[in-house]
Amino acid sequence: MQSLQEKASEWSGLAASDAFAIDETNIFNSLGGDIKPFVDLSTNFYNRSALHLSYSRLKTIFSFFLSILCSWETWVRVFDDEEEWFRSIFANSRKEDAIRNQYEFFVQRMGGPPVYSQRKGHPALIARHRPFPVTHQAADRWLFHMQQALHSTPTIDPDSKIKMMNFFRHTAFFLVAGNEMTRQGQSIPSDASGVLSLTDALIT
Ligand code: HEM
């Protein structure tokens, strides 16, 4: 039987070595040892959109239309996604909380202080995603938004963006595999700690 990590690698198309290249360097330190790039990323993830990006350059050129174009940003984002099935997954979350939960986890997982665990305990991502339909389709949509968010976050350098996106892609399908397993009533095998124990190691 395939392990969760093996499923994550097969479905994401990424070897574990690529997914965890984020651990070869301390990304938090390479981004200036500041939480701002992570706050920017998570804010963009939940607030911004592909539509925003398409028009972002136009904004600088046609500043006269800035206020009108700004209002278009609200059209597409995770909390107001045009895909109702995806938007509904976040219906019971407060946007401010979701942003903070996400960036604190990223800060901690990418070499920064353990701010997530200090506030909320062990990340336990499979368990925390259990209430949600983390399907292959949901992973693709989540990754679409994350790719757009990375594009619109200039405070993160290109090399870090590639490493982060690989980690996100692998973890998204790791969560899909974990979600399938918990829905089938199976207990999470010890290898499920692949993402999580690594986090533990990094926060001690
Ligand atoms: C695969 C598709 C995914 C879906 C559909 C999904 C959905 C959700 C939802 C609905 C929440 C609750 C929002 C909140 O109130 O915090 C959440 C929380 C969270 N997600 Fe995801 N997520 C996905 C992938 C990921 C990935 C790839 C990561 C990490 C790389 C991640 C990390 C987190 C974290 C840290 C939280 C906060 C958990 C908490 O503190 O309760 N998620 N996710």
Taking the CA atoms of residue 16, residue 103, residue 173 and residue 19 in that order, the dihedral angle to the nearest 10 degrees is -10
Checking if the pLDDT of 58 tops 60, the result is no
Average pLDDT in the 127-142 region?
97
* Chain Cα centroid distance, residue 71: 25
Best mutation site among 128, 182, 196, 203 for ligand 1 pocket (most ligand atoms within 8 Å of CB):
128
d(Cα 6, Cα 50) in Å, to the nearest integer?
A: 31
Average pLDDT in the 15-43 region?
97
Does residue 166 have its Cβ closer than 6 Å to ligand 1?
A: no
Does residue 172 have its Cβ closer than 6 Å to ligand 1?
A: yes
Does residue 175 have its Cβ closer than 6 Å to ligand 1?
A: yes
Give distance in angstroms: CA of 105 to centre of ligand 1: 10
Q: What is the pLDDT of residue 192?
A: 55
Tokens of 54: 């398409």
Q: What is the pLDDT of residue 7?
A: 97
Question: Which atom of ligand 1 is found nearest the CA of 172?
Answer: 27
Least confident span in 20-24, 88-92, 143-147, 195-199 = 195-199
Burial environment of residue 158 by CB neighbours within 10 A (0 to 12, 13 to 18, 19 or more): exposed
Query: What CATH number does domain 14-49+93-203 carry, 2.40.30.60, 1.10.10.10, 1.10.490.10, 1.20.58.100?
Result: 1.10.490.10
Give the tens place of pLDDT for each residue, 36-52. Answer: 999 999 999 998 644 54
Checking if the pLDDT of 148 tops 90, the result is yes
Does residue 24 have its Cβ closer than 6 Å to ligand 1?
A: no
CB atoms inside a 10 Å sphere around CB 53: 15
Average pLDDT in the 22-26 region?
96
Distance separating the N- and C-terminal Cα atoms of the chain: 32
Averaged pLDDT of the chain: 85
Nearest CA to ligand 1 atom 17: 129
Nearest CA to ligand 1 atom 13: 98
Q: What is the pLDDT of residue 151?
A: 95
Output DSSP code: residue 146: H
Checking if the pLDDT of 198 tops 50, the result is no
Checking if the pLDDT of 128 tops 80, the result is yes
Question: Which atom of ligand 1 is found nearest the CA of 146?
Answer: 27
Average pLDDT in the 88-106 region?
97
Checking if the pLDDT of 154 tops 60, the result is yes
Does residue 138 have its Cβ closer than 6 Å to ligand 1?
A: yes
Does residue 124 have its Cβ closer than 6 Å to ligand 1?
A: no
